[in-house]
Chain A
Amino acid sequence: MKCFSRYLPYIFRPPSAILSSSCHAEADIISTVEFNHTGELLATGDKGGRVVIFQREQESKHQPHRRGEYNVYSTFQSHEPEFDYLKSLEIEEKINKIRWLPQQNAAYFLLSTNDKTVKLWKVSERDKRPEGYNLKDEDGRLRDPSMITMLRVPVLRPMDLMVEATPRRVFANAHTYHINSISVNSDYETYMSADDLRINLWNFEITNQSFNIVDIKPANMEELTEVITAAEFHPHHCNTFVYSSSKGTIRLCDMRTSALCDRHAKFFEEPEDPSNRSFFSEIISSISDVKFSHSGRYIMTRDYLTVKVWDLNMENRPIETYQVHDYLRSKLCSLYENDCIFDKFECVWNGSDSVIMTGSYNNFFRMFDRNTKRDVTLEASRENSKPRAILKPRKVCVGGKRRKDEISVDSLDFSKKILHTAWHPSENIIAVAATNNLYIFQDKVN
C-alpha cells in the first residue's frame, strides 16, 4: 500500500480558485487545460466549445500577495456544433485539445480542436483605436461626401483594453475519425493532428492540404485491433514524434525515413503480467496520454491504473511505473459498468521533469517525485481551497480499519474525476480541472 509523504519539495497553496457557476451545465465541463510556453497564459477549453484564457497578473509592489494570480483574459467561442449531412452525424463542439504556439510577436496564437476541425486563433490586445475618419463619423455612419470641406488624418487614441480572438486558419475535412491530439512541431511551421486511425501533418499556412504520415486503418475494418490514442512531437527534434495505442504500445517515428511513417523506428511495449489478466486487461492497458519530457529524453504514458516513464533508449519496458489508484483493480467490473473505465486521464511533467502529476477520482490528483520516489495525493475541492491554505495530503484506505481523515474506496465519488491538469513550464504552479471548476495552486516557498 502506498504511503504518501509530505516531503515533496513544495507545498501547494491556492491563492485563488477560479470557479464557475455552482450549478453546472454540461457545456461548462472543462475538457482541456494548457499553459503557454512562458506560463503567462493559461487556456481552458470546455464541452460547449468555448475557450477561456487566463492571464497571470504582473507583480506589483502595492499588492505583493496578489502576484501570480490568474484572471480571465479572453473568452471566445471556438467551435460550434455542426451536423454532417452526408453521414448524418452530429459533430460535437467539445474542445478536445488546445496547444499554444510560441510567441513571436505581440499577439498570441493557439490551436484548438474538436473532433473534426482544428482552428488557429490569434489573440491580440487592442488598446488604441483610430479616430477622425473622413468618410464616416464616430458612429460609423457614412458621411455625405459633398459635405466634407477638409481632410484630416485619423489618429490613434487610447481606449480600454480589449482582447480579441480571431480565427486565422481553419483546418477542416481531413479527419474521418475523431481527433484526439494535436501537437506543434519544434520547427513552428508545422503541426500534426491525430485521430483514431490516422495522423496528418499540416503547415500552418496551408489549410486545404495536409500530409498523411501515419495510417493504421486495416483494409478490412473487421480486423481492427488497435487505435491511436495520443500523439506528440519531440520537443527538439522536428523529425521525431511518438504515438500511443489502445494496446498499450508506443511507437516512435522518424519522418525522414519515409513519407508514410507506418513503420516505426522504435516500439515501446511492456510485456503483460499474466497474473493480472482479467476481462478488462485490454481496456486498462490502453494508453490515454503520452507526453515527452521537457528534456526530450523520456516519455511518460498514462493508462487506467498507472503512469509509466520510458527512456527513449529502452524499448522493452518502462524505467519507472507509478500506481495511481491500484485499489481500483478489484473494482474493474463496476467501473466498466458505469463507464468510468473508459475515462482518459492525462499526465504532465513539471518544468524540470522531476515530478509528474496525474488525476484520479473523488477530485484527487497525484504527484510523484521521480527522484525521491515519494508521492502525494491531493484534493481539489472548495473546502480546502481557502486562499493561502495548505493542501492537505489525502489517503485512500483500501481495507481494514479506516483511520480518521482517510477515505474508503467505496466512498469515492466517481463522478468527480480529474482528467486534465497542467503544470507551469518553469514555476510550481498547477492548474487542475475538476468537472466545471478550475483550480490553480501555487507553491509559495517561504
Chain B
Amino acid sequence: MEFKLEAHRIVSISLGKIYSARGQRGGLKLHKNLLVSLVLRSARQVYLSEPGCPPEPPHAACGPPEEEPPPCTTVWAAGEPPPPPQDEAARGGPRLPGADCEGPRSRRCCCGCSCCCAAGGGEANPADCATAGAAAPPPPHCPRKRSAGERGQAGSPVKKPRREVEDPPPPPPGEQEDMDTGNVASLISIFGSSFSGLLSKEPKGRRRAPLDGSETAPAEAAAEPGQICCDEPVLRTLNPWSTAIVAF
C-alpha cells in the first residue's frame, strides 16, 4: 500500500516537473525529461499493479489506496457480482488491473479505473487493459474508457499519455519531426479552462468527463501542478482527480 501512495506521489511530482520544464530557459532538457518520464512510467506501473482497490465512493475515481476492501464492488454494482475479496488477495503481486473491475460492466471500475484512467481512456480494447504490465488478460468487458488510454500500448509504453510526456522531452527543436510542442501547449490551455470544474471536487461521477479530451487527465494535472501536487492530503483522500494523475 505504501508503494501505491509513494507511486501516486511520484506521479504527481513528475507531472509537475514535466509541466514546469516547458517554461524553462534554454528550452526543454531532453535528458532530464526522459528521466522524469521513466520515473513516471515506473510509478504508474507500480500504482496500477498494486493489489487493493482504492475506495470508490460515488464521486471518487481511483483515489489513493485505502484500507477498505474494494469498494468498487459496492459502488459500481453494475449488475455483475463484485469480485470476491479473495480475488484481490489471490492476484497479489502480478498486476491485474483489469481483474479488479471484472464485476462492473459500467465504465467505472475502481482499480479498473486506475488502469482506465492510467490509460487515459480510449479505445475499447480489452487487451490493452492489461497492458499496464500485467500478463493476465483483462476481463472481456473492460470499459472502453480504459482502452482509449491504452491505445498504442501494445509494444510500447502507453503511447497516448506518453505523447503527452514525450512531447516536452524530445521535441527536436527546429527539426522536421512529427512531434511539435504546439500540440501540448494547446492541449494544456484547453484543459486549463476545464480546470475549475475538475478541481471543484464535485463528484464528476463519470470518469468520462476527464477523458473527453483524452489528454485531459494528465494535462490538467500537469497544467496545475501547484494545485494537484500540493493538494496531497486531499489527493490521498478520494479526490477523483487523483485518477486523472494516475491516468497519466
Taking Cβ atoms with an 8 Å cutoff, the residues of A that contact B are: 84, 86-87, 89-92, 94, 115, 176-178, 180, 196-197, 217, 220-227, 229, 246, 279-280, 282-283, 286, 333, 336-337, 339, 342
| A279 to B13 alpha-carbon distance, docked (Å) | 13
Q: Is the interface of B mostly helix, strand, loop or mixed?
A: helix
Contact A197 B30, beta carbon cutoff 8 Å: yes
| A180 to B26 alpha-carbon distance, docked (Å) | 13
Q: A221-B179, A280-B39, A282-B35 are in contact. List 11 more A-B contacts (CB 8 A).
A: A89-B26, A176-B175, A197-B30, A221-B166, A221-B172, A224-B34, A227-B31, A229-B31, A246-B34, A336-B13, A337-B13
Contact B162 A84, beta carbon cutoff 8 Å: no
Given contacts A279-B10, A342-B35, contact A222 B27 (CB under 8 A): no
Which residue of A86, A92, A217, A283 contacts B26 across the interface (Cβ within 8 Å)?
A: A92
Whether B38 is near chain A, meaning CB under 8 Å from some CB there, is yes
Number of A-B contacts defined by CB within 8 Å = 90
Q: Which residues on the A side are within 8 Å of B25 (C-beta)?
A: 90, 92
Whether B29 is near chain A, meaning CB under 8 Å from some CB there, is yes
Contact B39 A279, beta carbon cutoff 8 Å: yes
Contact A84 B174, beta carbon cutoff 8 Å: yes
Q: Which residues on the A side are within 8 Å of B163 (C-beta)?
A: 222
Which residue of B38, B43, B173, B177 contacts A283 across the interface (Cβ within 8 Å)?
A: B38
Contact B26 A91, beta carbon cutoff 8 Å: yes
| A91 to B26 alpha-carbon distance, docked (Å) | 5
Q: Which residues on the B side are within 8 Å of A223 (C-beta)?
A: 156
Which residue of A89, A180, A222, A286 contacts B173 across the interface (Cβ within 8 Å)?
A: A89
Q: Which residues on the B side are within 8 Å of A222 (C-beta)?
A: 156, 159, 162-163, 166
> Which of chain A's residues has its CB closest to B40's CB?
A279
Contacts of B166-185 to chain A: CB distance below 8 A: 166, 169-170, 172-175, 177-179
Whether B194 is near chain A, meaning CB under 8 Å from some CB there, is no
3 closest A-B pairs by beta carbon, nearest first, are A92-B26, A87-B173, A221-B170
Min distance, Cβ A248 to any Cβ of chain B, angstroms? 12
Q: Which residues on the A side are within 8 Å of B170 (C-beta)?
A: 221, 224
Contact A333 B166, beta carbon cutoff 8 Å: no
| A196 to B35 alpha-carbon distance, docked (Å) | 13
Q: Which residues on the A side are within 8 Å of B159 (C-beta)?
A: 222
Q: Which residues on the B side are within 8 Å of A84 (C-beta)?
A: 173-174
Q: Which residues on the B side are within 8 Å of A176 (C-beta)?
A: 172-175
| A299 to B86 alpha-carbon distance, docked (Å) | 54
| A339 to B21 alpha-carbon distance, docked (Å) | 12
Taking Cβ atoms with an 8 Å cutoff, the residues of B that contact A are: 6-7, 9-10, 13, 17, 25-27, 29-32, 34-35, 38-39, 42-43, 46, 156, 159, 162-163, 166, 169-170, 172-175, 177-179
> Which of chain B's residues has its CB closest to A282's CB?
B38
Q: Which residues on the A side are within 8 Å of B26 (C-beta)?
A: 89-92, 94, 115, 178
Interchain Cβ contacts under 8 Å between A and B, 10 examples: A87-B27, A87-B173, A180-B31, A196-B30, A217-B172, A221-B170, A224-B166, A224-B170, A227-B34, A279-B46
Given contacts A221-B166, A222-B162, A223-B156, contact A178 B13 (CB under 8 A): no
Min distance, Cβ A382 to any Cβ of chain B, angstroms? 30
Which residue of B35, B162, B166, B173 contacts A246 across the interface (Cβ within 8 Å)?
A: B35
| A158 to B78 alpha-carbon distance, docked (Å) | 96
Q: Which residues on the B side are within 8 Å of A196 (C-beta)?
A: 30-31
| A339 to B174 alpha-carbon distance, docked (Å) | 27
| A280 to B46 alpha-carbon distance, docked (Å) | 13
| A281 to B103 alpha-carbon distance, docked (Å) | 36
Most chain B beta-carbon neighbours within 10 Å: one of A279, A283, A286: A279
Q: Which residues on the B side are within 8 Å of A286 (C-beta)?
A: 31, 35
Q: Which residues on the B side are within 8 Å of A282 (C-beta)?
A: 35, 38-39, 42
Contact B30 A279, beta carbon cutoff 8 Å: no
Which residue of B32, B43, B178 contacts A279 across the interface (Cβ within 8 Å)?
A: B43
Most chain B beta-carbon neighbours within 10 Å: one of A91, A115, A177: A177
> Which of chain B's residues has its CB closest to A288's CB?
B31
Contact B31 A221, beta carbon cutoff 8 Å: no
Q: Which residues on the B side are within 8 Å of A339 (C-beta)?
A: 17
Contact B46 A221, beta carbon cutoff 8 Å: no
| A286 to B34 alpha-carbon distance, docked (Å) | 11
Which residue of A90, A246, A337 contacts B31 across the interface (Cβ within 8 Å)?
A: A246
| A229 to B169 alpha-carbon distance, docked (Å) | 15
| A259 to B163 alpha-carbon distance, docked (Å) | 33
> Which of chain A's residues has its CB closest to B172's CB?
A176
| A220 to B156 alpha-carbon distance, docked (Å) | 11
Most chain B beta-carbon neighbours within 10 Å: one of A196, A221, A246: A221
> Which of chain B's residues has its CB closest to A342's CB?
B32
